[in-house]
Amino acid sequence: MVYSIPLIIFMDNVSSNISKQWNKHHAVYMSNVNLPHKMLEKEFCIQFIMSSPHAAPMEMMSTMQESIRKAAESGVFTWDCKHEEEVMLELYGLFLGGNNPMQAEECSHTGLHCNYFCRTCEVGRTKEYKESDEGYKSIFVVCSIFLPCLSPSEEIHAQFSSVLALGATEKIKKSVALSGMKDMTTGYILETVVELGKKLCKRGAGIQAKPEAEVKAILEKQLKDLLRGSALNDAINPLLGVEGFNVHQDTPTEILHTVLLGVVKYFWGQSVYRLKKAKLLDVFQMHLNSIEKAGLNAPCLNAEYICHYKGGLIGKHFKSLAQVMPFLIQDLLLRTVLDGWTCIGELVVYVWHMEIDDIEIYLV
């Protein structure tokens, strides 16, 4: 028997310390999507692959991708304990898990700091357009124009072509800002060649600038040395152009930073500001302390802690607050703020149901 095994590949930074001090390591894990959903997050069903405090994330992902490719070519032979026979497994990556900044890096995308700020679709445009009434509304419209898988690769090739010309710094900056594409795997190569170009073109007292043709020849040699004999296609992000896998479509939106540490966090900040301005924060704390907690999907609602450390809350606090805020502020803040928290409560419930169904959606 031959079985197809779709894989969830997770990569993110973690701390290797038990204490609160942050000691960043990048780690890669893997899960078998064929497992029932209730088993997927069990510790013994998650396979640790590698971790390093030194290797860049895309270097680790390159090794991971090469390993999966070899396994797919030759198959993995193992023993089926249920049917008591040898079977072959064909492995393939289904989607990549992680937080939004890491997924943006996996897509060779700069994230929110560019005109086209989405790694999946072409929402956005210039800052002036997004600040206009029409542009602001367009951000919240479902975009049906998805990024083609080959366009990032073509954009990265264009950036490498411009690095040999005069004014490369501004050209590359403009390209990154307009398209949002920046390859982290080869980013240091671009920076090295650009800095060398600046030095070669720099004019000093009594120093004559080198001819353009000579500068270009030196930069071409430097670029070739940095690529170490590899073709550019082999050096850039290994996830671009993988057969049967579109990294822009197969990096599902991460709920924690998008909703709880995004929409909920900033709405909470504005609500607290209004409560403080109206000198009602103490009343709010009493409301929070007296609310019935038996029916909540939350381990604890420590009113004193939440109000004291209101600017340093984490995801679990915002998940709890989203469930109770409409009941706490109904007679303290404006009706529009109350309606906003009611919508947020519905949104949090929706995205958590959506997260549970993610695996089934991908399998379909």
Residue 90 and residue 36 share a domain:
yes
Residue 260 and residue 350 share a domain:
yes
**Do the domain assignments include residue 126?**
no
Share of the chain above pLDDT 90, in %: 16
**Do the domain assignments include residue 319?**
yes
Residue 52 and residue 92 share a domain:
yes
Residue 185 and residue 154 share a domain:
yes
In this structure, how many other beta carbons lie within 10 angstroms of the beta carbon of residue 237? 25
- The answer to whether 254 touches 98, Cβ cutoff 8 Å, is yes
**Do the domain assignments include residue 120?**
no
Domain boundary among 80, 98, 116: 98
Give pLDDT tens digits for 279-337: 999 999 999 888 887 777 666 688 888 899 888 888 888 888 888 899 999 889 999 99
Q: Convert 89-115 to b/e letters by CB count within 10 Å (16 or more is b).
A: bebbbbbbbbbbbbbbbbbbbbbeebe
Residue 359 and residue 259 share a domain:
yes
Residue 357 and residue 259 share a domain:
yes
Instruction: Compute the distance between CA of residue 290 and CA of residue 283 in angstroms, rounded to an integer.
Output: 11
* Overall domain count for the chain: 3
The whole-number pLDDT of residue 144 equals 61
The whole-number pLDDT of residue 204 equals 59
**Do the domain assignments include residue 320?**
yes
Residue 262 and residue 231 share a domain:
no
**Do the domain assignments include residue 68?**
yes
Residue 17 and residue 52 share a domain:
yes
Residue 293 and residue 222 share a domain:
no
Instruction: pLDDT band for 24, please (50, 70, 90 cuts).
Output: confident
- The answer to whether 150 touches 237, Cβ cutoff 8 Å, is no
The whole-number pLDDT of residue 194 equals 77
**Do the domain assignments include residue 246?**
no
Q: Helix (H, G, I), strand (E, B), or coil: what is residue 296?
A: coil
Q: If you average pLDDT over residues 246-259, what whole number do you get? A: 82
Q: With 50 as the cut, is the pLDDT of residue 226 above it?
A: yes
The whole-number pLDDT of residue 271 equals 93
**Do the domain assignments include residue 224?**
yes
Domain boundary among 98, 116, 141: 98
Greatest alpha-carbon pair distance for the chain in Å reads: 83
- Average pLDDT of the chain, as a whole number: 81
Residue 313 and residue 270 share a domain:
yes
Give the pTM: 0.71
Give pLDDT tens digits for 130-172: 889 988 888 888 766 666 554 667 777 777 777 777 667 777 7
Instruction: pLDDT band for 360, please (50, 70, 90 cuts).
Output: very low
Domain boundary among 56, 71, 98: 98
Domain extent at residue 46: 2-98
Q: If you average pLDDT over residues 236-241, what whole number do you get? A: 80
**Do the domain assignments include residue 249?**
no
| Beta strand spans in the chain (E) | 2-15, 24-32, 46-52, 76-80, 85-97
The whole-number pLDDT of residue 148 equals 57
